């Protein structure tokens, strides 16, 4: 029984890792721009596809061994995915911001960008699924009836590390200070000589980089890619970010793991039909007691 519980907790940590990494991207952009970047789930999907092409290139064309391919694929995927995020900001969000458009229009634009990414993928690559090439051989370990693979542990550890790095950047660096300053008052900040556009670009780089990292780890754990894979998981990660308190990266991190844990544990002990029902009821109850989320504080510094 104990082994089953620990087993389910490991499963939950792995599944929650993806929600947490994607939720971090939502919360960063929201914290700085108060923009809900609904295209973020699809940036995650693009990240997984970029990882697919990069990994295939290194494995088949460059014929590198698996570990070398992996070591190159991770940073390259994160960089390329960041570029997609920044490109989106440049062509879709910045012109609207320049014209002083209402937030509603920017959110709608974000939704449309997500659909464009999905359908462009469908048009370019077709509806057929892609099988992600295995880069490392996974080993299965069994400790006292709890079974896990090295990949599973690596996913959880990487997510936690990524969170601490991000947290460090936001709280301890000058860039992070500028990000927090913009979220505090975006009219006074440019007057202080802080280059707002650059800081916003960095925000998108960080958020999309996390999505790219989530994309490559997701593709390794669930090695079948399809154009709509980011839609549902993106929505759920957004809800996780809101429950954690959108705008606060600790909230996104914990919210992601919370949602993952609730989903896995519900399926483990109830019929799977109840998963979304119970999961979202729990989140609703949390929001009813804390409308700003676990870490959210109404109208103060966010991020």
Partner 1 sequence: MKKLRLLVLLSLVALFATPALAADTIKIGFNIPMTGDIPKVGEMSKQSAEMLKADINSAGGLEVGDKKYMLEFIYEDNEAKAESAVTTALKLIEKDEVLAMIGPNSSKQAVPAGQVANDNETVMVTPWSTNPDTTKDRPWVFRAAFLDPFQGPVAVNFAVETFDAKTAAVLYDLSNDYSKGLAEIFKDEFEKKMGPNTILAFESHGTKDQDFSAQLTTIIATKPDFIFVPDNYNQVALIVPQARKLGYKGQFMGSDSWGSAELMTLCGDSCKGLYFSTHYAAAGATGATKEFIDRFNAKYGVVPDDVAALTWDATRVVLLAIQNAGNLTGKLKKDRKAVREGMAAITSFEGITGSMKFDEQGDPIKCAVVVKISDTGTFEFTKSVCP
- For partner 1, the binding residues (CB under 8 A) are 4, 7-8, 11, 14-15, 122, 126-129, 131, 134, 138, 140, 142, 147, 149, 151-152, 222-224, 226, 228-229, 232, 263-265, 267-268, 271-273, 275
Shortest distance (Å) from residue 272 CB to partner 1: 5
Whose Cβ is closer to partner 1: residue 89's or residue 118's?
118
- 14 or 109: CB nearest partner 1: 14
> Do 10 and 194 touch, CB atoms closer than 8 A?
no
In whole angstroms, how close is the CB of 240 to partner 1 at the nearest point? 15
Q: Minimum distance between the CB of residue 132 and partner 1, rounded to whole angstroms?
A: 10
Give the residue with the Cβ less far from partner 1, 15 or 253.
Answer: 15
Contacts of 2 (CB under 8 A, 6+ apart): none
| Nearer Cβ to partner 1 (15/163) | 15
Judged by beta carbon, residue 185 or residue 276, the one nearer partner 1 is 276
Find the shortest distance in angstroms from Cβ 115 to partner 1: 14
Shortest spacing between CB 73 and partner 1, in angstroms: 19
Minimum distance between the CB of residue 43 and partner 1, rounded to whole angstroms?
18
**Which residue, 166 or 262, is less far from partner 1 as judged by CB?**
262
79, two tokens:
């960089």
């Amino acid at each position: 029984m104990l082994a089953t519980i620990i087993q389910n907790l490991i499963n939950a940590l792995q599944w929650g890792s993806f929600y947490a990494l994607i939720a971090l991207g939502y919360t960063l952009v929201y914290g700085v721009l108060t923009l809900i970047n609904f295209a973020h789930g699809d940036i995650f999907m693009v990240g997984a596809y970029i990882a697919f092409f990069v990994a295939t290139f290194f494995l088949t064309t460059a014929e590198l061994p698996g570990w070398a391919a992996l070591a190159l694929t991770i940073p390259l995927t994160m960089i390329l995915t960041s570029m997609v995020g920044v490109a989106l900001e440049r062509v879709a969000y910045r012109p609207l911001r320049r014209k002083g458009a209402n937030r509603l229009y920017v959110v709608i634009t974000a939704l449309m960008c997500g659909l464009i990414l999905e359908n462009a993928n469908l048009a370019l690559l077709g509806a057929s699924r892609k099988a992600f090439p295995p880069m490392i051989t996974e080993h299965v370990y069994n400790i006292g009836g709890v079974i896990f693979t090295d990949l599973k542990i690596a996913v959880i550890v990487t997510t936690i590390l990524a969170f601490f790095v991000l947290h460090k950047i936001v709280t301890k660096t000058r860039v992070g200070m500028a990000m927090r300053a913009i979220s505090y008052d975006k009219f006074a900040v440019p007057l202080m000589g802080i280059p707002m556009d650059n800081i916003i670009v960095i925000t998108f780089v960080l958020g999309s980089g996390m999505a790219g990292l989530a994309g490559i780890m997701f593709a390794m754990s669930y090695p079948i890619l399809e154009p709509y894979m980011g839609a549902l998981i993106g929505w759920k990660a957004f809800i996780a970010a809101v429950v954690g308190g959108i705008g606060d990266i600790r909230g996104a991190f914990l919210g992601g793991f919370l949602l993952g844990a609730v989903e896995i544990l519900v399926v483990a002990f109830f019929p799977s039909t109840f998963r979304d029902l119970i999961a979202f009821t729990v989140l609703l109850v949390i929001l009813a007691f804390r409308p700003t989320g676990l870490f959210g504080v109404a109208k103060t510094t966010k991020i």
